[in-house]
Structure 1
Amino acid sequence: MTPYFRPRRSMLYVPGCSTRYLHKARTLKVDSVILDLGDPILVAAKEESRRNVVDAVLSGGYGRREVVVRVNDLDSPWGPDDVKAVARSGADAILFPNIESTKDVQRALSALDAAGGSHLPIMVMIESPIAVLRAEEIAAASDRIACIVMATSDLLNQLHGRRTPDRVAIVHSLAHVLLAGRAYDRSVVDGISTDLKDMQSFEYACRLARDLGFDGKSLVHPFQLPYCNDAFTPKPHDLAASLEVIEALDHAHAEGRGTVVVNGRLVESHHVKAAKRMLALNDMIQQLEAGQ
């Protein structure tokens, strides 16, 4: 597990233009808040949003929640100044949009380092077909990548796919990016669901992402949080099974055997590794929720 391993069941975008939402995020049961300076912010509100976000981070009050700032694209009029403003604000990570290559990752890191943020990890957004195709290259670009965040709404539009409950148009892309991320031990988080009224589809999307192997899901409204957190929280029977697997293989090793059968299933060392990861994640979730 990397130094950046932590719960990211839910990552809530919070618009920097609203001081009310920035404050409310301090009270929500969310693992990560993404204080947003990006595309959803009107041009006229860009600079005010930057000031709001810096003030919010400096003021603190987010408890154990991970505080991430999404900056504007570095090619935009606001991106470089965003990075300079937030690099030493006390954020836990900076999220860079429109990452499509190793060069883009290196450029983001260089901008952050030049602004005094060499101590910070970055997060990268995958939002285009070319980015999906280069997911392995991007994931391998730096060990300072704490998380890969899918931008599924943008991706679906560029694919000209249809928005369906089973998400068939983007399942391949989701799996491909997840595979690349896991190859380099990166956290990977699913994208938002834009239909705020269809909670049945949202819950299904959460559970699909969980079953694929994602760490969590980004979202845009607080009432989506309970579904998100529930889907990605280890269940009691999963935790009990993890403990059983660890104990059984330890016992088998003591008897000179490399494998063991638990409840009809063959257990080997890689199963123990996964079990220990789940238990560690559950401990972190309990600490996070206790600190909120």
Structure 2
Amino acid sequence: MNPYFRPRRSMLYVPGCAPRYLNKARTLRVDSVILDLGDPILVEAKEQSRKNVVEAVLAGGYGRREVVVRVNDLESPWGRDDVKAVARCGAEAVLFPNIESKADVQTALTALDAAGGSHLPIMVMVESPIAVLRAEEIASASDRIACIVMATSDLLNQLHGRRTPDRIAVVHSLGRVLLAGRAYDRAVVDGISTDLKDMQAFEFGCRLARDLGFDGKSLVHPFQLPYCNDAFTPKAHDLAAANEVIEALEHANREGRGTVVVNGRLVEGHHVKASKRMLALADMIEKLEAGQ
């Protein structure tokens, strides 16, 4: 199993320019907080935001939540200074935007290592058509990639697509990146919803991403959290079914059979593997929420 495997049902972007939001994130039922230094931060607030984020991470208090810092593009005036500032402050991963190739991944790792962050995994954002087309190249670039984060808002604009409830404009891209991520055992998280009023569409988007196979969804406002967490949390009946699958195939194996029928469905070894992953995830979720 991927060494960076953990619950990422919800990954909340928290703007580094607002200390009250950095503090509020310590109290929210969220799996990962992405302390954000990137595009949403005004130019005149970049350096103060960096200072705020470093101080917030050093102060701690985020419990079992995964603490990630999104830095600016390395080609920007702030990106490399961001990396230098956050590499050893206690963040659990650094999220790099605008990753479009294996070379971009290696450049990010080199910058992080030079800043003293060779112990840290990275996360990469896929946000352009060329990045989607090179998804396999990106996913295979390093075993230090803890998670691939879709930036579907940026992608949709570059595709000249329209925002619809069924998300038809980005479904192909979502599937392509997910396929690449799973081929190399990477976590993959869906992008944000920019419509903060249409919660029905947001909930549908969460369940679509879950059914496709995503690990979770990134989001921009705390009131989206309950929908997100609920969609990606295994339910009691899912866990009961998983245990039934494991027990049934183990019993069949003891009798010399490699398959078994459970509730009308053929069960093989790969179903057991998936069931054990679900049970492990559920256990992690329970511990995470207990620690929040």
Q: TM-score of the superposition, structure 2-length normalised? A: 1.00
Give the C-alpha shift of residue 132 in structure 1: 0.1
Q: Which residue of 1 is the match for residue 267 of structure 2?
A: 267
Q: Which residue of 1 is the match for residue 280 of structure 2?
A: 280
Q: Distance in 2 between matches of 1:3 and 1:135?
A: 21
Q: Distance in 2 between matches of 1:8 and 1:89?
A: 22
Q: Residue deviations 1:175-208, cap 9 Å, x none? A: 0000000000000000000000000000000000
Q: Residue deviations 1:55-99, cap 9 Å, x none? A: 000000000000000000000000000000000000000000000
Q: How does 1:47-66 map to 2 (within 5 A)?
A: 47-66=47-66
Give the C-alpha shift of residue 118 in structure 1: 0.2
Give the C-alpha shift of residue 262 in structure 1: 0.5
- The one-letter amino acid paired with 2:212 is L
- 1:207 maps onto 2:212 in alignment: no
Unmatched runs of 5 consecutive residues or more in structure 2: none
Q: How does 1:6-25 map to 2 (within 5 A)?
A: 6-25=6-25
Q: Which residue of 1 is the match for residue 101 of structure 2?
A: 101
Q: How does 1:152-167 map to 2 (within 5 A)?
A: 152-167=152-167
Q: How does 1:69-218 map to 2 (within 5 A)?
A: 69-218=69-218
Q: Distance in 2 between matches of 1:264 and 1:96?
A: 46
3-state DSSP of counterpart to 2:168: coil
Give the C-alpha shift of residue 123 in structure 1: 0.1
Identity of aligned residues (%): 86
- The one-letter amino acid paired with 1:154 is D
- The one-letter amino acid paired with 2:276 is K
Q: Distance in 1 between matches of 2:118 and 2:254?
A: 46
Q: Distance in 1 between matches of 2:50 and 2:264?
A: 56
- The one-letter amino acid paired with 1:231 is A
Give the C-alpha shift of residue 103 in structure 1: 0.1
- 1:248 maps onto 2:234 in alignment: no
Q: Distance in 2 between matches of 1:257 and 1:164?
A: 47
Give the C-alpha shift of residue 41 in structure 1: 0.1
Q: Across the two proteins, how many residue pairs are aligned to each other?
A: 292
- The one-letter amino acid paired with 1:105 is V
3-state DSSP of counterpart to 1:192: coil
Q: Residue deviations 1:147-171, cap 9 Å, x none? A: 0000000000000000001100000
Unmatched runs of 5 consecutive residues or more in structure 1: none
Give the C-alpha shift of residue 138 in structure 1: 0.2
| Root-mean-square deviation over aligned CA pairs | 0.3
Q: Residue deviations 1:4-43, cap 9 Å, x none? A: 0000000000000000000000000000000000000000
